Amino acid sequence: MRLVKTLGCFSIAMLAAISSALAQQPADATEQEIERYRAMISDPMANPAFLNVDRGEALWGQARGSKAVSLQGCDLGEGPGTLEGAYAKLPRYFKDADRVQDLEQRLLWCMETVQGLDTKDVVKRRFSGPGVVSDMEDLVAFIANKSTGMKFAVSIAHPKEQEMFSVGEAMFYRRSAIMDFSCATCHGEDGKRIRLQGLPNLSKAGKPAQETMGSWPTYRVSQSQMRTMQHRLWDCYRQMRMPIPDYASDGITALTLYLTKQAEGGALLVPSIKR
Protein backbone atom coordinates (compact mmCIF):
# COMPACT_ATOMS: atom_id res chain seq x y z
CA MET A 1 0.00 0.00 0.00
CA ARG A 2 2.84 2.37 0.91
CA LEU A 3 4.51 1.64 -2.45
CA VAL A 4 1.27 2.41 -4.32
CA LYS A 5 0.90 5.70 -2.49
CA THR A 6 4.54 6.56 -3.16
CA LEU A 7 4.18 5.83 -6.86
CA GLY A 8 0.97 7.85 -6.97
CA CYS A 9 2.65 10.85 -5.36
CA PHE A 10 5.62 10.46 -7.70
CA SER A 11 3.29 10.43 -10.76
CA ILE A 12 1.48 13.53 -9.57
CA ALA A 13 4.79 15.26 -8.93
CA MET A 14 6.04 14.35 -12.41
CA LEU A 15 2.87 15.64 -14.06
CA ALA A 16 3.15 18.86 -12.08
CA ALA A 17 6.78 19.26 -13.12
CA ILE A 18 5.97 18.66 -16.81
CA SER A 19 3.07 21.11 -16.70
CA SER A 20 5.24 23.69 -14.98
CA ALA A 21 8.01 23.25 -17.54
CA LEU A 22 5.58 23.61 -20.44
CA ALA A 23 3.98 26.65 -18.85
CA GLN A 24 7.40 28.36 -18.71
CA GLN A 25 8.11 27.73 -22.39
CA PRO A 26 7.25 30.22 -25.12
CA ALA A 27 3.89 29.57 -26.74
CA ASP A 28 5.46 28.26 -29.96
CA ALA A 29 7.68 25.81 -28.06
CA THR A 30 4.67 24.55 -26.11
CA GLU A 31 2.76 24.03 -29.34
CA GLN A 32 5.73 22.12 -30.78
CA GLU A 33 5.69 19.72 -27.83
CA ILE A 34 1.94 19.22 -28.21
CA GLU A 35 2.39 18.55 -31.93
CA ARG A 36 5.09 16.00 -31.09
CA TYR A 37 2.63 14.22 -28.81
CA ARG A 38 -0.04 14.28 -31.53
CA ALA A 39 2.41 12.77 -34.01
CA MET A 40 3.15 9.95 -31.55
CA ILE A 41 -0.52 8.90 -31.48
CA SER A 42 -1.38 9.59 -35.11
CA ASP A 43 -0.51 6.22 -36.65
CA PRO A 44 -3.78 4.99 -38.26
CA MET A 45 -2.84 1.38 -37.50
CA ALA A 46 -2.88 2.26 -33.79
CA ASN A 47 -6.23 4.07 -33.96
CA PRO A 48 -8.96 2.08 -32.13
CA ALA A 49 -11.65 4.04 -34.04
CA PHE A 50 -11.17 1.69 -36.97
CA LEU A 51 -12.90 -0.93 -34.84
CA ASN A 52 -15.88 1.45 -34.91
CA VAL A 53 -15.56 1.61 -38.69
CA ASP A 54 -15.75 -2.19 -38.91
CA ARG A 55 -18.77 -2.37 -36.60
CA GLY A 56 -20.44 0.44 -38.55
CA GLU A 57 -19.98 -1.43 -41.82
CA ALA A 58 -21.71 -4.47 -40.32
CA LEU A 59 -24.58 -2.32 -39.02
CA TRP A 60 -25.02 -0.64 -42.40
CA GLY A 61 -25.65 -4.00 -44.03
CA GLN A 62 -27.71 -5.54 -41.23
CA ALA A 63 -31.44 -6.09 -41.77
CA ARG A 64 -33.37 -4.56 -38.87
CA GLY A 65 -36.73 -3.05 -37.98
CA SER A 66 -40.27 -4.07 -38.89
CA LYS A 67 -39.36 -4.00 -42.59
CA ALA A 68 -36.37 -6.31 -42.08
CA VAL A 69 -34.13 -4.36 -44.46
CA SER A 70 -30.68 -2.85 -44.16
CA LEU A 71 -29.65 0.79 -44.35
CA GLN A 72 -28.33 0.23 -47.87
CA GLY A 73 -31.56 1.78 -49.13
CA CYS A 74 -30.82 4.99 -47.21
CA ASP A 75 -30.05 8.03 -49.37
CA LEU A 76 -27.44 10.26 -47.74
CA GLY A 77 -27.57 12.68 -50.63
CA GLU A 78 -25.62 10.84 -53.29
CA GLY A 79 -28.27 8.21 -54.03
CA PRO A 80 -29.50 5.18 -52.05
CA GLY A 81 -26.59 3.19 -50.66
CA THR A 82 -23.89 5.53 -52.05
CA LEU A 83 -21.52 6.59 -49.29
CA GLU A 84 -18.43 7.93 -51.07
CA GLY A 85 -18.37 11.71 -50.64
CA ALA A 86 -21.72 11.87 -48.84
CA TYR A 87 -20.35 12.97 -45.46
CA ALA A 88 -18.34 15.80 -47.05
CA LYS A 89 -21.60 17.41 -48.23
CA LEU A 90 -23.53 17.16 -44.96
CA PRO A 91 -25.57 18.79 -43.48
CA ARG A 92 -27.79 19.33 -46.52
CA TYR A 93 -31.45 19.70 -47.50
CA PHE A 94 -33.37 16.48 -48.16
CA LYS A 95 -36.55 16.83 -50.17
CA ASP A 96 -38.12 13.60 -48.85
CA ALA A 97 -37.83 14.82 -45.26
CA ASP A 98 -38.25 18.51 -46.20
CA ARG A 99 -35.50 19.33 -43.71
CA VAL A 100 -31.83 20.13 -43.53
CA GLN A 101 -30.25 17.14 -41.81
CA ASP A 102 -26.81 16.21 -40.58
CA LEU A 103 -25.61 12.60 -40.70
CA GLU A 104 -27.07 11.52 -37.36
CA GLN A 105 -30.44 13.09 -38.10
CA ARG A 106 -30.50 11.45 -41.51
CA LEU A 107 -29.56 8.04 -40.13
CA LEU A 108 -32.33 8.21 -37.53
CA TRP A 109 -34.78 9.23 -40.26
CA CYS A 110 -33.68 6.30 -42.44
CA MET A 111 -33.88 3.86 -39.53
CA GLU A 112 -37.45 4.92 -38.86
CA THR A 113 -38.72 5.27 -42.45
CA VAL A 114 -36.61 2.82 -44.45
CA GLN A 115 -36.19 0.12 -41.81
CA GLY A 116 -39.23 0.73 -39.61
CA LEU A 117 -36.93 0.63 -36.59
CA ASP A 118 -37.85 1.95 -33.16
CA THR A 119 -34.87 4.24 -32.48
CA LYS A 120 -35.42 4.77 -28.75
CA ASP A 121 -32.65 2.35 -27.81
CA VAL A 122 -30.35 3.75 -30.52
CA VAL A 123 -30.78 7.28 -29.13
CA LYS A 124 -30.32 6.01 -25.57
CA ARG A 125 -26.93 4.62 -26.62
CA ARG A 126 -26.05 7.71 -28.69
CA PHE A 127 -22.72 8.14 -26.89
CA SER A 128 -20.53 5.19 -25.97
CA GLY A 129 -19.06 4.57 -22.54
CA PRO A 130 -17.94 1.73 -20.27
CA GLY A 131 -20.06 -1.26 -21.29
CA VAL A 132 -22.06 0.83 -23.80
CA VAL A 133 -21.56 0.48 -27.56
CA SER A 134 -23.09 3.22 -29.72
CA ASP A 135 -24.63 2.23 -33.06
CA MET A 136 -24.61 5.87 -34.12
CA GLU A 137 -20.92 6.41 -33.40
CA ASP A 138 -20.07 3.21 -35.28
CA LEU A 139 -22.18 4.18 -38.29
CA VAL A 140 -20.76 7.72 -38.36
CA ALA A 141 -17.20 6.37 -38.23
CA PHE A 142 -17.90 4.00 -41.14
CA ILE A 143 -19.73 6.53 -43.31
CA ALA A 144 -17.36 9.44 -42.61
CA ASN A 145 -14.39 7.24 -43.45
CA LYS A 146 -15.85 6.82 -46.95
CA SER A 147 -15.20 10.55 -47.47
CA THR A 148 -11.68 10.60 -46.07
CA GLY A 149 -9.33 12.45 -48.39
CA MET A 150 -12.23 14.37 -49.95
CA LYS A 151 -12.92 18.07 -49.45
CA PHE A 152 -15.86 19.66 -47.66
CA ALA A 153 -18.42 21.01 -50.11
CA VAL A 154 -21.62 21.83 -48.24
CA SER A 155 -24.36 23.77 -49.99
CA ILE A 156 -26.35 26.77 -48.79
CA ALA A 157 -28.25 27.17 -52.07
CA HIS A 158 -31.65 26.00 -50.83
CA PRO A 159 -33.66 28.53 -48.77
CA LYS A 160 -33.80 26.10 -45.84
CA GLU A 161 -30.04 25.63 -46.00
CA GLN A 162 -29.61 29.41 -45.97
CA GLU A 163 -31.91 29.66 -42.98
CA MET A 164 -30.03 26.95 -41.09
CA PHE A 165 -26.69 28.56 -41.85
CA SER A 166 -27.95 31.89 -40.48
CA VAL A 167 -29.29 30.18 -37.34
CA GLY A 168 -25.96 28.37 -36.87
CA GLU A 169 -24.02 31.62 -37.19
CA ALA A 170 -26.30 33.30 -34.65
CA MET A 171 -25.84 30.36 -32.26
CA PHE A 172 -22.06 30.59 -32.62
CA TYR A 173 -22.08 34.17 -31.31
CA ARG A 174 -24.98 33.94 -28.85
CA ARG A 175 -23.86 34.47 -25.25
CA SER A 176 -25.98 32.78 -22.63
CA ALA A 177 -26.28 30.92 -19.31
CA ILE A 178 -24.55 31.62 -16.00
CA MET A 179 -21.07 32.05 -17.53
CA ASP A 180 -22.25 34.35 -20.35
CA PHE A 181 -20.27 32.25 -22.83
CA SER A 182 -20.74 31.64 -26.52
CA CYS A 183 -18.87 29.44 -28.98
CA ALA A 184 -17.04 32.61 -30.07
CA THR A 185 -15.77 33.18 -26.51
CA CYS A 186 -13.26 30.39 -27.07
CA HIS A 187 -13.22 30.15 -30.86
CA GLY A 188 -13.66 33.73 -32.08
CA GLU A 189 -10.07 35.01 -32.06
CA ASP A 190 -6.58 33.88 -33.04
CA GLY A 191 -4.07 32.73 -30.44
CA LYS A 192 -6.41 31.65 -27.67
CA ARG A 193 -5.55 28.70 -25.44
CA ILE A 194 -7.17 26.74 -22.63
CA ARG A 195 -4.56 25.18 -20.37
CA LEU A 196 -2.09 23.66 -22.89
CA GLN A 197 -4.63 23.29 -25.68
CA GLY A 198 -4.67 25.76 -28.54
CA LEU A 199 -8.17 26.92 -29.51
CA PRO A 200 -8.83 27.26 -33.26
CA ASN A 201 -10.48 30.41 -34.53
CA LEU A 202 -13.68 29.11 -36.15
CA SER A 203 -15.23 32.52 -36.75
CA LYS A 204 -13.57 32.79 -40.15
CA ALA A 205 -13.07 30.43 -43.04
CA GLY A 206 -9.63 28.97 -43.46
CA LYS A 207 -7.08 26.49 -42.21
CA PRO A 208 -8.04 26.34 -38.49
CA ALA A 209 -11.66 25.55 -39.34
CA GLN A 210 -10.61 23.10 -42.05
CA GLU A 211 -8.25 21.20 -39.78
CA THR A 212 -10.76 21.15 -36.93
CA MET A 213 -13.83 20.01 -38.83
CA GLY A 214 -11.77 17.71 -41.03
CA SER A 215 -10.64 15.68 -38.01
CA TRP A 216 -14.09 14.67 -36.72
CA PRO A 217 -15.17 11.96 -35.96
CA THR A 218 -12.14 11.13 -33.84
CA TYR A 219 -10.90 8.69 -31.22
CA ARG A 220 -10.38 10.51 -27.91
CA VAL A 221 -7.47 8.92 -26.05
CA SER A 222 -8.47 10.70 -22.84
CA GLN A 223 -11.96 9.16 -23.02
CA SER A 224 -11.03 5.81 -24.62
CA GLN A 225 -13.96 6.29 -27.00
CA MET A 226 -14.69 7.32 -30.59
CA ARG A 227 -16.55 10.65 -30.65
CA THR A 228 -18.62 12.46 -33.28
CA MET A 229 -19.23 16.17 -33.83
CA GLN A 230 -22.59 15.68 -32.08
CA HIS A 231 -20.71 14.72 -28.92
CA ARG A 232 -18.16 17.53 -29.33
CA LEU A 233 -20.88 20.19 -29.49
CA TRP A 234 -22.88 18.52 -26.70
CA ASP A 235 -19.79 18.62 -24.50
CA CYS A 236 -19.07 22.25 -25.40
CA TYR A 237 -22.55 23.27 -24.27
CA ARG A 238 -22.10 21.25 -21.08
CA GLN A 239 -18.80 22.99 -20.33
CA MET A 240 -20.38 26.40 -20.99
CA ARG A 241 -23.03 25.47 -18.38
CA MET A 242 -25.76 25.92 -20.97
CA PRO A 243 -28.86 23.73 -21.25
CA ILE A 244 -27.82 20.44 -22.84
CA PRO A 245 -29.03 20.34 -26.47
CA ASP A 246 -31.24 17.47 -27.59
CA TYR A 247 -29.50 14.78 -29.58
CA ALA A 248 -29.82 15.25 -33.34
CA SER A 249 -31.63 18.55 -32.83
CA ASP A 250 -32.06 21.19 -35.53
CA GLY A 251 -29.96 23.59 -33.45
CA ILE A 252 -26.94 21.30 -33.49
CA THR A 253 -27.45 20.73 -37.22
CA ALA A 254 -27.55 24.49 -37.83
CA LEU A 255 -24.34 25.04 -35.87
CA THR A 256 -22.68 22.13 -37.67
CA LEU A 257 -23.68 23.56 -41.04
CA TYR A 258 -22.16 26.93 -40.13
CA LEU A 259 -18.90 25.37 -38.92
CA THR A 260 -18.65 23.02 -41.90
CA LYS A 261 -19.16 25.92 -44.30
CA GLN A 262 -16.27 27.68 -42.56
CA ALA A 263 -14.18 24.58 -43.35
CA GLU A 264 -15.11 24.52 -47.05
CA GLY A 265 -12.29 23.24 -49.23
CA GLY A 266 -10.60 21.45 -46.34
CA ALA A 267 -9.95 17.73 -46.57
CA LEU A 268 -11.40 15.07 -44.30
CA LEU A 269 -8.95 12.68 -42.62
CA VAL A 270 -11.20 10.52 -40.47
CA PRO A 271 -11.53 8.92 -38.10
CA SER A 272 -8.60 10.77 -36.58
CA ILE A 273 -7.10 10.35 -33.14
CA LYS A 274 -6.78 13.06 -30.49
CA ARG A 275 -5.61 13.41 -26.91
236 has catalytic annotation: yes
Q: How confident is the model at residue 4 (pLDDT cuts 50, 70, 90)?
A: very low
Q: How confident is the model at residue 41 (pLDDT cuts 50, 70, 90)?
A: low
91-102 pLDDT, tens digit each = 999 999 999 999
Return d(Cα 86, Cα 79) in angstroms, integer.
9
CA angle 163, 169, 171 (to 5 degrees): 105
**Neighbouring-strand partners of residue 272:** 218
Check 9, 74, 110, 236 and give the catalytic one. Answer: 236
Count of CB atoms situated within 10 Å of the CB of 7: 10
Residue 196 reports pLDDT greater than 90: no
Interacting residues of 245 by C-beta distance below 8 A, sequence separation 6+: 233, 234, 237, 251, 252
Q: How confident is the model at residue 198 (pLDDT cuts 50, 70, 90)?
A: confident
